[in-house]
C-alpha cells in the first residue's frame, strides 16, 4: 500500500480515501455508522484500499458503487458485499462497456509514480455478481446513519449520487466536480446528465463530496453546472460530438 492513498477526515465518522498521485485524483468515501460502514467506490485498483478501510473501522462493509467505470470499481474484488444500481448490474457481471486495453491506456496516459508492486500487465477490470441491487430513493441504514440512493443517469445509465439527509452531505460521483464532466462516451446521455444535475439541485446540501480532484468545492457549483448545461441545450449544442466547452472551474465534454 505504501503511501499511495491519502486519508482525509471529513468528520469523526466520515473519511475521504484519495489517490492524488494519479491524474484522475480519485476519491472513495468511508461512512461509519453504529452497525456497519459504507464504502462509496473503491478507486483505481492500483493499491489495496481494503487495508486502509480496515485501519479505520472493524465494522462490516458494504461497497456502494456510484457507477461501473474502471476508476470506481478497481478495488471491488477485495470486498464481499457489493451494491450497484439496477441498470448497471450487467456491466459488473460481464458486459463492461470499455475494452481492457483502452482502460490500461487511460490508466497510464500520464506519468505516475505507481507503487513498486503494481504491474500494468496484471491489471484487470473487476467482474462479478453484485450482492445487492440499488434503487432510486432507497435508504441504506448503517445504524443511526441513513444514506439515500439518488439515481443520476447521464454520465452512465446507472450513475448514482448518495445523499445524507442528516448531515446534508452529497457524494456526487462523476456528476459534479471541478474538472471535465464527461458525456461523450457512447454509453452517456448529455440530456439525462443535465436532468440529473437539476435533480440534485432540489436537495438541501451543506457539503458536496466529489469523486475526482479538489475536495473543497463550492455549494454553488451545481447551479453553475446546471446553467452551463441549459445554455448548451438552448443553443442546440447538447449533443454528442459537439466538443469540449470551458466554463472556468469545469468543462463539459460532449
The arithmetic mean of pLDDT across residues 190-194, rounded, is 98
pLDDT, tens digit, 9 for 90 and up, residues 39-82: 999 999 999 999 999 999 999 999 999 999 999 999 999 999 99
CATH of domain 6-180+202-216: 3.60.15.10
Supply the mean pLDDT for the chain.
96
Q: Which three cell numbers stand for residue 22?
A: 494519479
**What's the distance, CA 148 to chain centroid?**
15
The arithmetic mean of pLDDT across residues 187-214, rounded, is 97
Report how far residue 109's alpha carbon sits from residue 48's, in angstroms, rounded to the nearest whole number: 21
Break the chain into its structural domains and give their ranges: 6-180+202-216
pLDDT of residue 182: 96
DSSP string for residues in 234-252: HTT--STTS-EEE-SS-EE
Report how far residue 45's alpha carbon sits from residue 168's, in angstroms, rounded to the nearest whole number: 29
By C-alpha distance, which of 84, 72, 188, 191 is closest to 128?
A: 84
How large is the greatest C-alpha to C-alpha distance in the chain, in angstroms? 52
pLDDT of residue 164: 98
pLDDT, tens digit, 9 for 90 and up, residues 83-129: 999 999 999 887 888 889 999 999 999 999 999 999 999 999 999 99
Report how far residue 63's alpha carbon sits from residue 29's, in angstroms, rounded to the nearest whole number: 10
pLDDT of residue 2: 59
Q: Return the percentage of the chain with pLDDT > 70, whole number.
A: 99
- Helix extents (H) in the chain: 49-56, 89-92, 100-107, 190-200, 221-234
Q: Output the CA–CA distances (angstroms, integers) from residue 93 to 38, 70, 87, in the order listed.
A: 21, 14, 12
Q: Which residues of 179-212 are buried (b: 16+ CB within 10 A; e: fewer)?
A: bebbbbeeebbbebbbebbebbeeeebebbbbbb
Q: Is the pTM of this model over 0.95?
A: yes
Query: Does residue 106 contact residue 112 with C-beta atoms inside 8 Å?
Result: no
Q: Which residues of 92-102 are buried (b: 16+ CB within 10 A; e: fewer)?
A: beeebebeeee
pLDDT band at 27 (very low <50, low <70, confident <90, very high): very high
pLDDT for residue 1 is more than 50? no
Amino acid at each position: 500500500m505504501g503511501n499511495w492513498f491519502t486519508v482525509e477526515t471529513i468528520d469523526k465518522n466520515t473519511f475521504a480515501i484519495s489517490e492524488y498521485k494519479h491524474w484522475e485524483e480519485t476519491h472513495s468515501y468511508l461512512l461509519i455508522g453504529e452497525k456497519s460502514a459504507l464504502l462509496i467506490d473503491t478507486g483505481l485498483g492500483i493499491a489495496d484500499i481494503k487495508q486502509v478501510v480496515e485501519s479505520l473501522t472493524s465494522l462490516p462493509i458494504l461497497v456502494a458503487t456510484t457507477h461501473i467505470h474502471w476508476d470506481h470499481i478497481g478495488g471491488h474484488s477485495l470486498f464481499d458485499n457489493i451494491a450497484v444500481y439496477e441498470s448497471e448490474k450487467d456491466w459488473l457481471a460481464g458486459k463492461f462497456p470499455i475494452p481492457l486495453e483502452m482502460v490500461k491506456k487511460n490508466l497510464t496516459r500520464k506519468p505516475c509514480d505507481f507503487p513498486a508492486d503494481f504491474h500494468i500487465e496484471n491489471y484487470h477490470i473487476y467482474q462479478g455478481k453484485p450482492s445487492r441491487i440499488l434503487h432510486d430513493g432507497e435508504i441504506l441504514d448503517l445504524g443511526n446513519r441513513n444514506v439515500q440512493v439518488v439515481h443520476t443517469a447521464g454520465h452512465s445509465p446507472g450513475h448514482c449520487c448518495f445523499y445524507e439527509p442528516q448531515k446534508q452531505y452529497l457524494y456526487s460521483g462523476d456528476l459534479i466536480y471541478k474538472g471535465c464532466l464527461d458525456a461523450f462516451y457512447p454509453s452517456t446521455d448529455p440530456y439525462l446528465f443535465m436532468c440529473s444535475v437539476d435533480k440534485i439541485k432540489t436537495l438541501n446540501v451543506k457539503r458536496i463530496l466529489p469523486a475526482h480532484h479538489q475536495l473543497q468545492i463550492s455549494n454553488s457549483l451545481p447551479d453553475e453546472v446546471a446553467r452551463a448545461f441549459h445554455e448548451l441545450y438552448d443553443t442546440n449544442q447538447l449533443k454528442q460530438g459537439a466538443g469540449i466547452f470551458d466554463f472556468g472551474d469545469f468543462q463539459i465534454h460532449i
